Amino acid sequence: MTLNVGGIDRIARIVLGLVLIGLTLTGTIGVWGWLGVVPLATGAIGWCPPYAIFGFSTCSMKKQ
């Protein structure tokens, strides 16, 4: 499993996931907020299945 989620993308996913879960826990939004687990998990592990399927990556390129 090669990492395909870069730094800014990871931070955005984690923040979005935490916000959605937090809004769900406070009753601001409904059960759909639990979908925040998905961006939180992909941000935490640094790998996104759709990125892998389509060959997309936001990781920075390493200099040789």
Domain ranges of the chain: 10-54
Q: What is the pLDDT, as a whole number, of residue 62?
A: 66
Q: What is the pLDDT, as a whole number, of residue 63?
A: 57
Give mean pLDDT, residues 27-52: 95
Average pLDDT for the chain: 93
Give the Å distances, CA to CA, from 6 to 42, 50, 56: 11, 14, 11
CB-based contacts of 10, cutoff 8 Å, min separation 6: 43, 46
Give mean pLDDT, residues 29-53: 95
The reported pTM is 0.88
d(CA 39, CA 11): 10
d(CA 17, CA 40): 5
Determine what percent of the chain is predicted with pLDDT higher than 90: 88
